Chain A
Amino acid sequence: MPRRRDEEEDMEDDDYEDQYDEEEEEDDRSSRKRRRSDFIDDAAEEDDDEEEDDDEDEDYGGGGGGGGKRPKPKKRGSQFFDLEAQVCMLLFPRKVSQNSEKTNFDGSHFLAFSYFLVLVKKVSLAVIDFIVDGGADIPDDDDGRRMHRRPLLSREDEQEDVEALERRIQARYARSSHTEYDEETTDVEQQALLPSVRDPKLWMVKCAIGREREAAVCLMQKCIDRGPEMQIRSAVALDHLKNYIYVEADKEAHVKEACKGLRNIYSQKVMLVPIREMTDVLSVESKAIDLSRDTWVRMKIGNYKGDLAKVVDVDNVRQRVTVKLIPRIDLQALANKLEGREVAKKKPFVPPPRFMNVDEARELHIRVERRRDQMTGDYFENIGGMLFKDGFLYKTVSMKSISTQNIKPTFDELEKFRSPGENGENDIASLSTLFANRKKGHFMKGDAVIVIKGDLKNLKGWVEKVDEENVHIRPEIKGLPKTLAVNQKELCKYFEPGNHVKVVSGTQEGATGMVVKVEQHVLIILSDTTKEHIRVFADDVVESSEVTTGITKIGDYELHDLVLLDSNSFGVIIRVESEAFQVLKGVPDRPEVALVKLREIKCKLEKKSNVQDKNKNTVSVKDVVRILEGSCKGKQGPVEHIFRGILFIYDRHHLEHAGFICAKATSCVVVGGSRANGGRNGDAYSRFDNLRTPPRIPQSPRRFPRGGPPVDYGGRHRGGRGRHDALIGATVKIRQGPDKGCKGRVLEVKGQSVRVELEARMKVVTGKSLVIWENFFDRSIISDNVEVSTPYRDAPRYGMGSETPMHPSRTPLHPYMTPMRDAGATPIHDGMRTPMRDRAWNPYTPMSPPRDNWEDGNPASWGTSPQYQPGSPPSRAYEAPTPGSGWANTPGGNYSEAGTPRDSSSGYANAPSPYLPSTPGGQPMTPNSASYLPGTPGGQPMTPGTGGLDVMSPAIGSDNEGPWLMPDILVKVHRPGEDSVGVIREVLPDGSYKVILGSSGNGETITSVANEIEIVPPRKNDKIKIMGGAQRGATGKLIGVDGTDGIVKVDDTLDVKILDMVILAKLAQP
Chain B
Amino acid sequence: MFFHIVLERNMQLHPRHFGRNLREHLVSKLMKDVEGTCSGRHGFVVAITGVDSIGKGLIRDGTGFVTFPVKYQCVVFRPFKGEILEAVVTMVNKMGFFAEAGPVQIFVSNHLIPDDMEFQSGDMPNYTTSDGSVKIQKDSEVRLKIIGTRVDATEIFCIGTIKDDFLGVINDPTAV
Q: Which residues of A contact B (CB under 8 A)?
A: 497-500, 514-517, 524, 526, 528, 531-533, 545, 547, 653, 655, 736-737, 771, 792, 844, 848-850
Contacts and interface: CB of A to CB of B under 8 A. Distances in A.
Contacts of A771: 63
A771 B95 CA distance: 47
Interface stretch (B128-136, B144-152, B165-173): B144-152
A494 to B, nearest CB: 15
24 contacts: A497-B148, A498-B149, A498-B159, A500-B150, A514-B148, A515-B148, A516-B109, A516-B111, A517-B109, A517-B111, A524-B109, A526-B95, A526-B109, A532-B95, A533-B95, A533-B109, A533-B111, A547-B150, A653-B90, A653-B91, A655-B98, A736-B63, A792-B15, A844-B14
A531 B90 CA distance: 15
Contacts of B95: 526, 531-533
A736 B62 contact: yes
Given A500-B150, A526-B159, A655 B109 contact: no
A655 B63 contact: no
Given A498-B149, A526-B95, A844-B14, 16 more contacts: A497-B112, A497-B147, A497-B159, A498-B147, A500-B148, A514-B150, A515-B148, A516-B111, A516-B159, A517-B112, A528-B150, A531-B107, A533-B95, A653-B91, A655-B91, A848-B16
A238 to B, nearest CB: 54
B93 to A, nearest CB: 7
A500 B156 CA distance: 13
A827 to B, nearest CB: 27
Contacts of B81: 498
Interface string B79-107: 00100000000110101001000000001
Give the interface size class of chain B.
20 to 34
A517 B91 CA distance: 21
Closest 4 pairs (CB-CB, A-B)? A498-B148, A517-B111, A498-B147, A516-B109
A516 B147 CA distance: 8
B111 A524 contact: yes
A499 B14 CA distance: 44
Contacts, number: 58
Contacts of B150: 500, 514, 528, 545, 547
Contacts of B98: 655
B161 interface: yes
B85 to A, nearest CB: 14
A807 B111 CA distance: 56
Most chain B CB within a 10 A radius of its CB, from A497, A547, A792: A497
B83 to A, nearest CB: 12
A692 to B, nearest CB: 34
B147 to A, nearest CB: 4
A124 to B, nearest CB: 54
B157 to A, nearest CB: 8
A514 B147 CA distance: 10
A771 B157 CA distance: 34
Nearest to A790: B64
A850 B91 CA distance: 47
B117 to A, nearest CB: 15
Contacts of B157: 528
Contacts of A737: 62
Contacts of A547: 150, 152
A410 B97 CA distance: 28
A848 B16 CA distance: 9
Contacts of A500: 148, 150
A499 B148 contact: yes
A497 B145 CA distance: 12
Nearest to A516: B109
A739 B17 CA distance: 26
Contacts of B93: 655
Contacts of B161: 497
A524 B161 CA distance: 14
Contacts of B111: 516-517, 524, 533
Given A514-B159, A532-B95, A771-B63, A849 B112 contact: no
A845 to B, nearest CB: 12
A497 B148 CA distance: 7
Contacts of B91: 653, 655
A473 to B, nearest CB: 24
Contacts of A848: 16
Contacts of A849: 16
Nearest to B82: A498
Contacts of A736: 62-63
Most chain B CB within a 10 A radius of its CB, from A499, A516, A545, A655: A516
A727 to B, nearest CB: 20
A786 B109 CA distance: 55
A995 to B, nearest CB: 44
Interface in B15-58: 15-16
B63 A526 contact: no
A497 B15 CA distance: 52
A500 B157 CA distance: 11
A350 B136 CA distance: 48
A848 B15 CA distance: 12
Contacts of B149: 498
Nearest to B93: A655
B40 to A, nearest CB: 10
B16 A792 contact: yes
Contacts of A850: 16
B146 to A, nearest CB: 8
Contacts of A655: 91, 93, 98
A653 B152 CA distance: 16
A655 B93 CA distance: 10
A31 B55 CA distance: 98
A532 to B, nearest CB: 6
Contacts of B16: 792, 844, 848-850
Nearest to B62: A736
A354 B3 CA distance: 61
Contacts of A532: 95
Nearest to B12: A768
A528 B81 CA distance: 17
Interface string B104-130: 000101011000000000000000000
Contacts of B146: 498
Contacts of A514: 148, 150, 159
A547 B151 CA distance: 10
Nearest to B161: A497
Contact of A516 (B14, B63, B90, B112): B112
